[in-house]
Structure 1
């Protein structure tokens, strides 16, 4: 009987060659550097894992764009384990071991990885009883209630070190500032292995450097954060706009009143629809109505999300307060959508996305996060929203765009923001198949190049650069202080190599 699918001899040869090329590639692939013998005599040796599962977990992050293998993962049972590891790294012979702290791995460009180094799994501390401690009394020096834990961002499944090492932003940052502006005290293990408690009044240089410092000066092991008594419910409103100028005018008005609890703006397109993984807010009937407006407005709309928290004491007046807040806004008539939800439901609207993917397939997240000065947002809208993003026309995730007040930030901290009283954050939260990530990288690069050519002085949030020159440009006047502080607290450049600040691929170019 004749074969239904005959296999050609050329195809067989191709398969054989491919197989042997794969084997050859595996044979010549560099083996991971072994652990130094001296480390095996330390008390932390039993908590250093080199098994494939541990190494694999530490070699990837939420972005799924970068893979860097460490030689081991430390699962600390105490802060002393971290101190021991860092002191060993300072005293070990060449080649030096680099160290990176990893929380939930929510970086997108390998920032929490340590190629041929050791990754410290910070989650192990909570498993060993070092967790949240909430004060039942007011702090006598500040008058605030506090907790030894981080305050919330839009996404709750994050750890203290990662958010405070960047800044920690959300739709309530206009009111309270970023997370780094709400820290009373830190415990930090420096790059020399010193355990230091610091605050604005005690070891303040380290305190200010670590906040927004991208993990360069020390590993945060405890953060004391200001708390407020939580209300019980939230009035949750979304407003739609066709006009960008009115959209931004209304956002700036809202954050100037200090009345809302939360304000975030976003862009809606056919490729970035009203409902997304951050929140399925709209009902099917609302969705149909919005889609119709989207078609009549050249495929783009703007949305403001306004939330006002309340409890039993303010329940009788909340509707009147909200109506007064929204009465003079210029949203499209008839396009106001409201919900009344328990506060916990609003805070938890973004579920645990770590466990989600597209139809069981691996997703990549080539995100771009920028800070844009208010003085150039009209140019930004014309060049980025109405041109670049529209022209690329790629299926994307949420596109956020909302303002902050500069006076809620402390410029002495390491975090970098535009030098204007009001600035906006852009969040392009792309999700894609691995073979599509390059297309989004092109989109991101085109946006950055447009801003550079147009003279729009953007700053990257969650920054990613490949050269020290770019890092110097990013920090601007802060660079010398940043570099001097690195030399003081991490002189051997051990910490956070995945940020590629002091070990970038072309660091020799300066």
Structure 2
């Protein structure tokens, strides 16, 4: 959207006033593609903004299958991050997709007379308030779980699911047919719409790409309230825009997910390294091998002692005698975690394959730990830890997480500074690190990654203890995160944030880089009033004052 040609009008004040009025009359109710500016500054006479009473009355007039709640909505002002708390004016509990489209269309037609925005909330696992809407409307997407889940068995199997469905439920349903999605997240109690609006990453990404690379079709409600079915061949721009689009162009109400054969069991293996370069070399070798493991991740253990004595009850060392002699001595260690799928009747073949793969790696021999569990038990492993933490009251605490995509060419520079100088104390939470292949990621989506064939996911999944002023306190961890971000910027590592969080549009523009122009065009096309996903802080809805 261009600027008025003021250079030609500066000598004609009357004509300029006419032009502004004409221009505003052709802007759809106050389009705003910048969070720091609003057409309100022009002080043009417009209908007064609606107050909270009128907003409630207005929403109550909608004939819905579901319902709105206007009180006791504090749960919608809270998420897994537990750092941002923005109370909405209302929460929509939809029973159908028209409930969502009618609500958004109603707010869109209010135009700039209302400051109402809309946020889709899944299982509430955002960490920076991304699924919150201050004085707006939060849509409880889990209300749509009851919509029918359909598994299609054929040459190209898939499952059609609601955007509010949890991945754990999809797993159980598809397994009834011997099938399962190919790409996962580490935690399965997340909604489909939530992960597809970001990427959806786990240890299968090196082979199958993220979840957004394994979608055939979407049903989306745009910021105008339109219900649109889109795919690679139909409404293509919206399809790719919504995938990894941070909820900016539409709310995913239904998705068609690619499926593949599901194994019954997995061999789950962990080995340790004391040298970072050897650790990453082996990881990179594994993700480039044709017949590799089915899952490859890794994590970093900082200054832990007695590591192997309480490694994990479900794991056993290959050689107990050697394992008992190993001591971490407070060193930083690097753990490679891999999985091989198998069915009971091919155990011997799988064991031989594993032996062959491990023989090419340079891990510390006495630290080979393994476990044999069901496919479901492995995929749902984090939920076991969740229940233990909930029992101790340690789940609903602040989680100041920080996630990066780091180019392969700079991962050593990143590690040397971060793990050598910044993170010198025991980490208060897992630090994941593993490489993925760029070729498995669809570069047409809204997600941005480093421009290299291989890049690393590095995730600082820290937890802050309430009321603590020490190294496990929120203030200390946030300061540590800032030091990491400052170093990445100063060293020009070419990193990209995953689950990004910025406070200014300039930062967002730098994040998207050459993709920013397309991002802006899509916002203008599908959510011109900036109604959707205000918690991402990319755009601010424009309003006019009288």
Query: For this structure pair, what is the TM-score category when the shorter chain's length is used for normalisation?
Result: 0.7 to 0.9
Distance 1:472 1:281, change over 3 A: farther
Match of 1:122 among 138, 141, 149: 141
Q: Is residue 85 of structure 2 the alignment partner of residue 67 of structure 1?
A: yes
User: What is residue 39 of structure 1 aligned with on the other side?
Assistant: 59
Matched, 1:385 2:403: no
Partner of residue 531 from structure 2, selected from 477, 486, 494:
494
| Deviations 1:201-230 (CA, angstroms, capped at 9, x unpaired) | 111000000000000000001111111111
Gaps of 5+ in 2: 1-50, 162-166, 168-180, 468-472, 542-546
Q: Kindly indicate whether the alpha-carbon contact (under 8 Å) linking 1:174 and 1:405 is maintained by their aligned counterparts in 2.
A: yes
- The CA distance in 2 between the partners of 1:80 and 1:365, in whole Å, is 35
**1:325-336 equivalences in 2 (<5 Å):** 325-336=357-368
Partner residue, 2:500: 463
- The answer on whether the counterparts of 1:365 and 1:430 sit within 8 Å (CA) in structure 2 is yes
Deviation of 1:456 after TM superposition, in Å, equals 0.6
Give the Cα–Cα distance (whole angstroms) in 1 for the partners of residues 385 and 534 of structure 2. Answer: 26
Q: CA deviation at 1:270?
A: 3.2
TM-aligned CA deviation for residue 357 of structure 1: 3.9
Say if 1:226 and 1:45 are closer, same or farther in 2 by CA, change over 3 A: closer
Match 2:436 to one of 380, 385, 404 = 404
Give the structure, 1 or 2, with the largest relative contact order (CA under 8 Å, sep 6 or more).
2
Change (3 A) 1:409 1:348: same
Aligned to 1:267: 300
Contact 2:271 2:369 in 1 (8 A): yes
SS at match of 1:330: coil
Quick check: 1:83 aligned with 2:101?
yes
- Of 362, 375, 379, the match for 2:409: 375
Pair 336,292 (structure 1): closer, same or farther in 2 beyond 3 Å: closer
Aligned: 1:50 with 2:90:
no
Count of aligned residue pairs for this structure pair: 460
Aligned to 2:519: 482
The one of 160, 178, 190 aligned to 1:148: 160
Instruction: Supply the distance in 2 between the matched residues of 1:272 and 1:212 (Cα, whole angstroms).
Output: 40
Contact kept, 8 Å, 2:435 with 2:457, in 1: the verdict is yes
Contact 2:302–2:427 (CA<8 Å) still a contact in 1? Answer: no
Query: For 1:448 and 1:212, how far apart are their aligned partners in 2?
Result: 22
Q: How do 1:210-221 residues align onto structure 2 when only pairs under 5 Å count? A: 210-221=242-253
CA distance in 1, matches of 2:333, 2:446: 35
Q: CA deviation at 1:273?
A: 8.9
Instruction: Give the Å deviation of 1:395.
Output: 4.5
How many Å apart are 1:350 and its aligned residue? Answer: 1.0
CA offset at residue 232 of structure 1?
0.7
Structure 1 counterpart of 2:462, from 419, 426, 430: 430
Partner in structure 2 of residue 186 of structure 1: 218
Pairs within 5 Å for 1:51-450: 51-52=71-72, 55-92=73-110, 94-126=113-145, 129-135=146-152, 137-138=153-154, 143-149=155-161, 151=181, 152-258=184-290, 259-270=292-303, 281-282=314-315, 289=323, 293-295=327-329, 298-351=330-383, 356-357=389-390, 359-360=392-393, 362-390=396-424, 393-435=425-467, 436-450=473-487
What's the CA shift for 1:328? 1.2
Q: Which runs of 5+ in 1 are unaligned?
A: 1-31, 505-510
1:131-173 deviation per Cα after TM superposition (whole angstroms, max 9, x unaligned) = 42211x32xxxx4210124543111101001100000000010
With over 3 angstroms needed to count, the CA separation of the structure-2 counterparts of 1:44 and 1:96, relative to structure 1, is farther
Classify 1:50/1:291 alpha carbon distance in 2 versus 1 (closer, same or farther; 3 Å).
farther
Which 10-residue stretch deviates more, 412-421 or 148-157? 148-157
CA gap 1:199/1:66 in 2 versus in 1, 3 angstroms: same
Output one character per residue of 1:434-477: Cα deviation in whole Å (capped at 9) or x when no partner: 34212111111101111111121110001110110100000000
DSSP 3-state at the match of 1:316: helix
CA RMSD across the alignment: 2.5
* Secondary structure in structure 2 of the residue aligned to 1:39: helix
Change (3 A) 1:357 1:98: same
Deviations 1:83-142 (A, max 9, x none): 11000010125123100000000000000000010000001111xx3142211x32xxxx
Change (3 A) 1:339 1:462: same
Instruction: List per-residue Cα deviations over 1:382-428 (Å, max 9, x = no partner).
Output: 100121111xx154111100001000111110001000000001111
The separation in 2 between residues aligned to 1:177 and 1:171, in whole angstroms, is 10
Deviates more, 1:447-456 or 1:58-67: 447-456
Asked if the contact 2:221/2:252 (under 8 Å) is kept, the reply is yes
CA offset digits 1:351-401 (Å, max 9, x no partner): 1666544733641100000010000111111100121111xx154111100
1:377 is paired with a residue whose SS is helix
